[in-house]
Structure 1
Amino acid sequence: MEPPLRWVIDVRRLAAIDLWGLHGRPLRRRLITLEFALGIVLPMVLGSVCLTARAPFTRVIGAWLVGIALNYVPLAFHAFRLSRRGALEAELAGVDARSELRRYSRRQFVIAIPLALLVMSFLRPPRP
């Protein structure tokens, strides 16, 4: 049996609780899904532009932005999968949304660490 990886975030649960919020309103779901999609596109474009610069520091910033954009890929993937009718409700069945939201709000800083969520999405075994 593997030891638990306490530092690993369940990316699917993070996306689900972010989509749900406190009340699970449809407008919030659409806005968060849009946020995840724009979280891929905007930093990827800006990072790509920065990577073409001559200044080394600007290239470092560009690489960091591309890494941030790649963090949003698993979030957007799960957001689209959870957008099917009843999928989000099934994912959060029996979960105290308020405490989960509090817990994951404190852990969202890892989005600023390039590739962190992308790697964590592979460390957690997929659930049905």
Structure 2
Amino acid sequence: MSDIFDINEITEEDIKLQYITPALLSKWDIKKITSVNCQLSVILFMEIVMENVAYLNNKGDLIQFKYGNTKIRFKGPYSLERIEQIKEWDNGYLVVSAKYSHTDEVVEDYIDLIPILENLYIKPEKFLHPIKEVKLDYAAR
């Protein structure tokens, strides 16, 4: 296995085996290593290594929000043609500029991810916490 991982391909097990376990064993007595210590190390490592950027795109009325290896797809307005710009990200709430089929003008619109995440039994506060920025990315399909 290569020493360099693509962030989209690295798993929690890779992190444990390649980085955390050797680091813990080199510094701590094996008898003092607990499951809690390992879990905290994984969380800290993921926050440092994992990009704090999520990506948004759409194809017609189907909107995709991607963070890490998680892709969430949901229906937008039937007349949505394209999300043109992300104006603001506020921990689950997006302000976007979008083009709709019923008007020639770009319109400001809003996406609230919290009820979508809750309906998928994803804890919004845990999932959204590391995300600091959302970018448009039509190549991220």
| Length-normalised TM-score, structure 1 | 0.25
Between Structure 1 and Structure 2, the one with more strand by share is: 2
Which is higher, the Rg of structure 1 or of structure 2? 2
**Which structure has more RCO (C-alpha within 8 Å, separation ≥ 6)?**
1
